[in-house]
Chains A and B, each alone.
Chain A
Amino acid sequence: MAKGQVKVRRERSVPVIMRVLAIVSLVLLLAPVVVVILAGLNSGDHLTFPPDGLSLRWVVAFFRSGAFLPAYLFSLLLALCTMFFSTILGTMIALVLARNEFPGKQMARAFFMAPLMLPGIVLGLALYLFYLSSGLGLTRTMPGLVIGHVLVTCPYVIGTVNASLVGFDKSYEEAARSLGAGPLKTFRIITLPIISPGIIAGSVFSFIVSFGQFDVSLFLTPPDYNPLPIALYSSLRYTFEPTAAAAGIFAIFLVVVSMLITARLTNLRKLANVNFS
């Protein structure tokens, strides 16, 4: 009971002006998302004020669309490929960074996190010019695009796996080894269960970052396959197609589900940390 009263008092300690400004920023964050959903479910040709009414005609149009449905599916495929490679590379790097002490370790970590800090358009241009001049045949191809996406998503996996290794007790691994388990078996039965929430959270993040990636894709997109952000961008330059908003609804759904999964996992991770400390 006393605890509950403390809670109430603290929540009331946010002054009115702060609450008003906080609501303004929540509205600014969420209003565009709500508008996209309404525009995709609107029955008229364009979303106007006052609105016309609800219908699924634009959702149906999206499933028949020759531009947005292929783009959506291509983005899904791209995000899955990116997630696969980022998760493997990122987990390996994080394991090395978290469990070894070596000179220049901070530098190494900063190096692997660097793609996050770099403007996406600069990284995209650097890769585009490198593909053009190196003759590797990656210019405006799917593998070339995946490479760009892996670079910007890997840091997320490194970050989450690294966080799940904080406070990791090496003696569990040593115990397994001394009881006769090989290095692979030790990894499978001891290390992997501990870091798996971090790996899953990292792969969810890399999926969703790749799915919404625009800047890096700009110079690397294959001529006949557009990822969704690029396809939406091209159509938005000329008109507001409700079909694009319907595609947006499905993207919003993906993002919200991913964030719910991540929220679940971070809680699980805290639980895991409590149990292992």
Chain B
Amino acid sequence: MLAAPGTIFFIVFFVVPLASLFLLSLDKPSLGNASVQWMFDFRNFERFFGRAIYYEAALRSAGLAALVSLIALILGYPLAFLIAKTTNVRRNTTLMILVLSAMQLDMVIRLFGLMVLMGDVGLINGFFRWSGLIGDQPLPLMYNFAGVVVGLVQFSLPFMVLSLVGVIQGINPALEEAARSLGATRSQTFWKVTIPMSMPGILAGLLLVFAISFSSYVVPTLMGGWTVVVLPIHIFQQVVELGKWQFGAAIAVVMFAISFIVMMIYQRAAVRASGGRV
């Protein structure tokens, strides 16, 4: 009884729209027509996998997301480690609030800040020019692949940190102390005890960061200046600029499938990370 309104809402506005997205992706292309014509074949998917511009975008999206996950791990693990080892309650809470606020702040606002920092006439180039380190030629920090990577790492870093903090906190300090008292150096203890014990969190963080940076639209468009074409950009172009809704739906289904697989593995990793409890 109590669950009825929620269940009906989710079926009408979640299950049905997703199901029609799937049907539409298999339907005959029809310009500016979003209703299902029931003429199914695989031509939209054949087009996607048959043309380099599309499958290369899929590979680019996946490669970008993989690179971002790795960098987010290298930067996020130390921060998570520091938060987990901070026993001062006030400092710990402050760090957590900073990470959470950075995560919850609208990405477009954060991108505004990044673009003012990294643009050709931005603060970083301005500083270098002012200090005489570079001439009139600005460093190309933005509107390229590297700019998109920096933007996506900024976007996804809090998710990595939050996936790791709990796991690192849960490691029994007695294990690390035991390794030390048996003669292991600090770095040996870290690589042979701490890192293996944090593996479930590392895996969960990598997958989560992969999934969210894979599906980001704002970061590649603003930081890449339309030079780094990823799958969400193709979806937007097909749907809004060209009115090819069936093909746009097909690209969305490919994205859905990739994220779905990643998320399934993530859930397993997350269950392991929480010690079998969901």
Contacts and interface: CB of A to CB of B under 8 A. Distances in A.
Contact of B79 (A21, A114, A240, A259): A21
Contact of A214 (B9, B16, B100, B218): B218
A49 B126 contact: yes
A18 interface: yes
A49 B127 contact: yes
Given A119-B255, A126-B252, A212 B17 contact: no
A118 B267 CA distance: 13
Query: Of residues A18, A29, A151, which shows the largest number of chain B Cβ atoms within 10 Å of its Cβ?
Result: A29
A237 B222 contact: yes
Interface in B112-159: 112-117, 119, 121, 123, 126-127, 130, 150, 153-154, 157-158
A125 interface: yes
A218 B221 CA distance: 13
B104 A233 contact: no
Interface string A49-69: 110000000000000000000
A233 B93 contact: no
Nearest to B176: A13
B276 interface: no
A115 B15 CA distance: 10
B239 A125 contact: yes
Give the interface SS of chain B, mostly helix, strand, loop or mixed: helix
Contacts of B150: 28
A219 B116 contact: no
B157 A48 contact: no
Interface stretch (B47-55, B80-88, B197-205): B80-88
B169 to A, nearest CB: 12
Given A218-B236, A258-B104, A28 B154 contact: yes
A189 interface: no
A10 B235 CA distance: 50
Interface stretch (A91-99, A169-177, A192-200): A91-99
Interface string B1-36: 011011101100110111011001000000000111
Interface in B207-224: 211, 214-218, 221-222
B256 A118 contact: yes
B75 interface: yes
A117 interface: yes
Give the interface SS of chain A, mostly helix, strand, loop or mixed: helix
A132 B99 CA distance: 39
Contacts of A118: 256, 259
B101 interface: yes
A252 interface: yes
Nearest to A37: B113
Contacts of B215: 119-122, 215
B74 interface: yes
B252 A125 contact: yes
Contact of B101 (A28, A151, A209, A255): A255
Nearest to A138: B13
A133 B36 contact: yes
B2 A129 contact: no
B136 to A, nearest CB: 15
A106 B10 CA distance: 16
A125 B248 contact: yes
A123 to B, nearest CB: 8
Nearest to B95: A26
A104 interface: no
A17 B78 CA distance: 8
Given A21-B74, A130-B21, A150-B9, 4 more contacts: A21-B75, A31-B113, A112-B6, A233-B222
12 contacts: A7-B87, A14-B82, A18-B82, A21-B78, A25-B76, A89-B6, A122-B21, A122-B252, A228-B106, A229-B107, A255-B105, A260-B97
